[in-house]
Structure 1
Amino acid sequence: MLNISQLRRAVVRCASAQRKAYVVGVGMTKFEKPGRRIDFDYHDMGREAGEAALADAGLPFEKVEAASIGYVYGDSTCGQRAVYQLGLTGIPIYNVNNNCSTGSTALMQAADMVRGGQADCTMAMGFEKMQPGSLGSVFDDRSNPLEKHAEAMINIGGFAPAPMAAQFFGNAGKEHMEKFGTKQSHFTKIAAKNKRHSVNNPYSQFRIEMTEEQVDGDKQVFEMLTRQHCCPTSDGGGAAIIASEYFVKKHGLEHKAVEIVGQAMVTDMPDSLDEEKTDLMTIAGYKCSKTAAEKVYAQAGINAKDIKVVELHDCFSANELITYEALQLCEEGKAGEFIDAGDNTYGGRVVVNPSGGLISKGHPLGATGLAQCAELCWQLRGEADKRQVENCDLAVQHNIGLGSAVVITAYKLGFPEVRKDWVAQNGLPTHALPKEGEYLAPKKK
């Protein structure tokens, strides 16, 4: 027989087939060069990020009803191994692998459980323990998931002795240059901009500002891409706590609740791998990003011109450039003008990658989407310190994994007036990087 609390929740869940989902706590580790921290195994990354998110929400782990855990490199049930560091409560734990968009896929699954009424409080967690150097195939005794994409790319753009990921995105950038007259300097300005932004991010793997000459003067990887145009492999973790409106109000979390106002995942389109219809930008995910953005903007009832800050998947500077147009931050073919005008940074129309992006912050595959979520929640709550974007009231996250899946999420403050009053009384918290092992979970209630 249902008790009163369970009955009330059942009634609330039945009242709406599509409930709202709010991020009420976020946390991440510092992203590190693989192997720098000897004691930094994947479950340590998960614990640090998870405890930080719980502390941010002011909740004990026992309040979490389900968890979606993302990672790419690891044995089955790594999610359980990481979550068990927080507690053994018998909750469902789902392990997610969706290439570089794994973290956002976990986030979307955790939010879907709340939106669909399966739970009132969920956790999304992602982590990655990586090897130095370019990404490579782990399972060489079976078909590579990207072989169809590679065949289509090679038939159009040829093959070079360079990392495949760099070729996918570098070829997309090259095609943009041929179509629209984009210049090398545009890609270089993106890389230098992200390195400049990362100086103010204590969680970033690299915090070194570089001139455009230094960016272009490094070792060439492929076409317009030098090493400084490419994201590094990284170790790290991220986490977010997602809650229903009922849960938010019951626990008095309105002052920090960030609403997910739109969210969509798009995989390859009908013509993505049709060699007679596709092109190099499509193979690299441009149309997936464009379609996902249109879906999210329609869900949220927003226009791209309203967006103040974006965390965008800049695995390579070439991908950031073509994605400006996919997200409608500028018109098709106008990315070069958008960059030259400084409209992608502070003082311009929209700040893209205030965190430093993947190029400087790092890219532990399973954690990236959740680190993007953390940055945007801090921005909307006014807690980004020197990275803070002025008048930030709408934020968008873009995360892509080839093979393929693009996840785009739009965020706003859930209860802006409550937040305003709370800050007036309490001031803004800071997010200075804690010392290793310093994260503390709240006491059990």
Structure 2
Amino acid sequence: MAEKVIVAGVGLVPFSKPGASEPYPVMAAKAVHAALADAGGLAYAKIEQAFVGYVYGDSTAGQRALYEVGMTGIPVVNVNNNCSTGSTALYLANAAIASGQAECVLALGFEQMNRGAIGSQFNDRPSPFDRFDEATQALVGHSEVPLALRYFGGAGQAHMQQYGTRLETFAKIRAKASRHASKNPVALFRDVITAEDVMNSPAVWPGVMTRLMACPPTCGAGAAILCTEAFAKRHGINAGVRIKAQAMTTDTTATFEARDMREVVGFTMAKNAAKKVYEAAGVGPKDIQVVELHDCFAQNELISYESLGLCPEGGAEKFVEDGDNTYGGRYVVNPSGGLLSKGHPLGATGLAQCTELVQQLRGQAGARQVDGARLALQHNLGLGGACVVTLYEAV
């Protein structure tokens, strides 16, 4: 039997704009120290393995970051899976505990980003996105628009064309994110904005996306410590939250063969991961109270409602209009403010989502608290591609 995996401690540093953050080793060390403190003051020497995620950084930056905490000789595995990097580190840590390979493991993610749109760092070799770019060019064109905006804007446009979804619906999602973030002290953007503000922001793709529908480049760090039940008991650790089920998926042939921008940005990949998690846990979407999903663009939040089974395919606009994505509705989606308002430091995003959901299930989320939260779903997506879906349970 697999070991039950307890989330022993979580830690996060406030996110900041590029150029305004501390260096990545400082941010990472602070996140780890916060997670150790959250785990009842656990000593770093008790950590047996570490999986460290970042996207933009040199090799062994994971060691450089952790050496600020301690040099104990443990295995340190550096992880890069694009925007799903943080959750990929968490996935590996979870597997190490569940398999019995270790009793206490650290997952750490950080990012020290530059200003402006993200892009390739190695232009003398094939890009991992070349097939994605070719598909996007064939489906939507608009080569003058930055690629990430074309990917997700094109997916939103496909939803608009098939279901009549209005641009204002994406604006309402962004406004909702701001209301949630206003109650989160570690969010990057805490000012409340309206759907009208979003609609009136500069158009980056007229009729398809405005600037405020996109998440900002962000710096930050997050950490989670996982352990067995026996380890938690021996060290007096709060064992109130565990990982009930988790799955990682990558692209299928549908990504390019379906000729649908929603597939290019991982609709089936996310749907498959969610299905695996629901089946493994013996629950359905209706059993969940709170969700942190990958809203790198407002368009992707809407599409993810459907891929995760929170509403029927084609039903996302009604889902938004009915308020089923916020307090008082069927689910509370991204109570942290999500990537849109909390920020998106690529390697740290998955650990930030984990931190929010663990705090929710412990009843420690303060003004953001979701009443009666017992099951929490996390969705972290990286194009190229990988998707990690994790279900947490309060026990």
**Could you tell me which of 33, 36, 39 is aligned with 2:17?**
33
Shift of 1:143: 1.1
What is the aligned counterpart of 1:316 among 287, 297, 318? Answer: 297
- Report the equivalent of 2:173: 190
Where in structure 2 are the equivalents of 1:33-72 lying within 5 Å?
33-37=17-21, 40-58=22-40, 59-72=42-55
Write out aligned runs for 1:397-436 (5 A).
397-414=378-395
Deviation string for 1:115-168 (max 9, x for gaps)? 111100000000000001111111111111111011112112223311111110
Taking structure 1 as the reference length, what is the TM-score of the superposition? 0.87
Q: Give yes or no for the alignment of 1:251 onto 2:232.
A: no
Structure 1 distance, partners of 2:393, 2:181, is 23
Answer whether contact 2:232 2:239 (CA < 8 A) is retained: no
Alignment match, 1:115: 98
Which residue identity is paired with 2:280?
Answer: Q
| TM-score of the two chains, using structure 2 as the length reference | 0.98
Query: C-alpha distance in 2, partners of 1:148/1:224?
Result: 23
Pairing 1:210-229 to 2, within 5 Å after superposition: 210-222=193-205, 223-229=207-213
Q: Any runs of at least 4 consecutive aligned residues in structure 1 with deviations exceeding 6 A, and if so which?
A: none
- The correspondence of residues 272-291 of structure 1 with structure 2, limited to 5 A, is 272-274=255-257, 277-291=258-272
Of 150, 154, 158, 2:133 maps to 150
Q: Which runs of no fewer than 5 residues in structure 2 stay unpaired? A: none
Letter in 1 for 2:298: S
- Share of identical aligned residues, percent? 52
Amino acid paired to 2:267: Y
**1:330-354 per-position Cα deviation (integer Å, ceiling 9, x unaligned):** 0110000000000000000000000
Shift of the alpha carbon at 1:95? 0.1
Deviations 1:183-240 (A, max 9, x none): 1111010000001110000110110100111111111122422111110001100000
Larger Rg: 1
Between 220-229 and 240-249, report the one with greater CA deviation: 220-229
CA displacement at 1:256 relative to structure 2 = 4.3
CA distance in 1, matches of 2:304, 2:172: 15
- 2:368 matched residue in structure 1: 387
Q: Tell which deviates more after alignment, 330-339 or 219-228.
A: 219-228
RMSD: 0.9
The correspondence of residues 312-391 of structure 1 with structure 2, limited to 5 A, is 312-391=293-372
Q: Report the residue type matching 2:221 in the other structure.
A: G
- In structure 2, distance between residues paired with 1:192 and 1:144: 35
Could you tell me whether the CA contact under 8 Å between 1:248 and 1:257 is conserved in 2? no
Q: Which residue of 2 aligns with 1:170?
A: 153
| In structure 2, distance between residues paired with 1:257 and 1:111 | 16
Q: Distance in 2 between matches of 1:413 and 1:251?
A: 19
The alpha carbon displacement at 1:278 in A equals 3.4
Deviations 1:74-123 (A, max 9, x none): 11000001111111111000000000000000001011110111100000
Aligned pairs, how many?
Answer: 393
2:78 alignment partner in structure 1: 95
Kindly indicate whether the alpha-carbon contact (under 8 Å) linking 1:64 and 1:123 is maintained by their aligned counterparts in 2: yes
Which letter does structure 2 place at the counterpart of 1:233? P
Equivalent position amino acid for 1:294 in 2? K
Structure 2 CA distance for aligned equivalents of residues 83 and 219 of structure 1: 41
Asked if structure 2 preserves the Cα contact closer than 8 Å seen for 1:65 and 1:122, the reply is yes
